């Protein structure tokens, strides 16, 4: 009888630990992680003073291991971690940067976006809500810089997270990005 109780408790404990895992695209970060826990998994963790006020704290860092990144992907820039009362609730990252608005750069950016969107749908197990439009008569990155002209994004909703893949543009077509923003529900 004692063995049965011990096995039952072990199984329930394992199930409870699995139930606590966030479905947020990260293998190493869970909602509610402390600043210290996140810092331990990052290199060059730094406070962002202008974005940290009151109970809110924003920090940047680069995961020590690629597998800790979003879907295990190495990013082009540090991650931004947001905490409320010392607990993680949001992560953002620039996955790729595009230096100009030339046709081949736009084609590469759109291909990267499509590839990432498919990878996210498969990995997260959900279909995205899409908002993908841009005025074809305008330069692509300048258009998506102006939300009245265009927007390029895919929103994924999991059991505990809202995840958005999107492209940012710039007025002059330089400094464009493919980004992911992951927020606790």
Per-residue confidence (pLDDT) for residue 76, from 0 to 100: 80
Residue of 12 and 22 predicted with greater confidence: 22
Tens digits of residue pLDDT in 106-164? 999 999 999 999 999 999 999 999 999 999 999 999 999 998 999 999 999 999 999 99
| Structure letter (DSSP) for residue 146 | S
Nearest to 33 by CA among 93, 98, 106, 86: 86
Q: Tens digit of pLDDT for each residue in 35-46?
A: 999 999 999 999
Q: List Cα–Cα distances, 64 to 45, 100, 109, in angstroms.
A: 10, 30, 26
Beta strands in 64-124 (DSSP E): 79-84, 87-98
CA gap 153, 67 in Å, rounded = 24
Cβ pair 77, 98 in contact under 8 A: no
pLDDT of residue 75: 86
Give the residue among 29, 20, 18, 119 at the shortest CA–CA distance from 69: 29
The one-character DSSP state at 147 is: T
Confidence of residue 18 (pLDDT cuts 50, 70, 90): very low
Q: Which residue has the higher pLDDT, 142 or 9?
A: 142
pLDDT interval class at 66 (50, 70, 90): confident
Examine the pLDDT at 14 and tell me if it is beyond 70: no
How far, CA to CA in Å, does 48 sit from each of 25, 36, 45, 112, 180?
A: 24, 15, 10, 29, 19
């Amino acid at each position: 009888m004692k063995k049965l109780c011990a096995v039952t408790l072990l199984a329930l404990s394992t199930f409870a630990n699995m139930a606590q895992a966030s479905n947020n695209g990260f293998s190493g970060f869970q909602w509610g992680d402390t600043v210290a826990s996140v810092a331990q998994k990052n290199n060059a963790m730094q406070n962002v003073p202008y974005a940290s006020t009151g109970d809110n704290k924003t920090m940047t860092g680069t995961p020590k291991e690629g597998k800790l990144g979003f879907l295990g992907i190495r990013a082009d820039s540090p991650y931004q971690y947001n905490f409320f009362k010392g607990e993680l609730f949001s992560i953002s990252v620039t996955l790729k940067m595009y230096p100009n608005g030339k046709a081949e750069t736009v084609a590469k950016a759109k291909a990267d976006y499509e590839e990432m969107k498919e990878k996210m749908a498969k990995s997260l197990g959900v279909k995205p809500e899409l908002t993908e439009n841009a005025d074809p008569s305008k330069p692509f990155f300048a258009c998506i810089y102006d939300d009245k002209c265009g927007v390029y994004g895919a929103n994924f909703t999991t059991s505990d997270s809202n995840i958005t893949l999107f492209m940012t543009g710039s007025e002059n077509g330089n400094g464009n990005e493919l980004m992911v923003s992951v927020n606790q529900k």
